[in-house]
């Protein structure tokens, strides 16, 4: 099986040397993704939109996500995102981890990384 690389054209992809997603061996690995917006909620929605497009290009969707990692510079900003995440993953919840850490730029309030299993 060939490896498929999916680019979203994001500015950091070329600068850092990565792609938005890689499809290999029946798995879709979506890189940590930040979104745009004035606050954590807007950025969460935006990041999920970018991730959803990458998953769709790979032939998968949020129902196929088996693992998600949330990274935030302030863990207190995570709770406002819960309703969005429950709406996105609620019917088919993946295993999840939230990590408090620094992100590439202080303007980013959340980064989301997912792994999905391709449907047969």
Instruction: Determine if the pTM surpasses 0.85.
Output: yes
| Whether residue 37 has pLDDT greater than 90 | yes
Helix (H) or strand (E) segment spanning residue 83: helix 82-89
Q: How many CB atoms lie within 10 A of CB 118?
A: 15
Q: What is the pLDDT of residues 41-88, one digit of tens each?
A: 999 999 999 999 999 999 999 999 999 999 999 999 999 999 999 999
Question: Cβ(63)–Cβ(89) under 8 Å?
Answer: no
Question: Cβ(40)–Cβ(73) under 8 Å?
Answer: no
Per DSSP bridges, beta strands 65-72 and 95-100 are parallel
């Amino acid at each position: 099986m060939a490896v498929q690389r999916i680019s979203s054209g994001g500015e950091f992809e070329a600068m850092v040397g990565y792609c938005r997603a890689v499809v290999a061996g029946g798995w879709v690995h979506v890189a940590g993704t930040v979104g745009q917006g004035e606050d954590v909620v807007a950025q969460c929605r935006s990041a999920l939109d970018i991730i959803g497009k990458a998953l769709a290009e790979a032939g998968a969707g949020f129902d196929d996500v088996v693992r998600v990692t949330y990274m935030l510079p302030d863990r207190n900003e995570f709770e406002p995102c819960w309703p969005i995440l429950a709406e996105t993953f609620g019917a088919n919840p993946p295993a999840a981890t939230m990590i408090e850490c620094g992100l590439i730029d202080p303007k980013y309030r959340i980064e989301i990384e997912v792994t999905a299993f391709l449907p047969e």
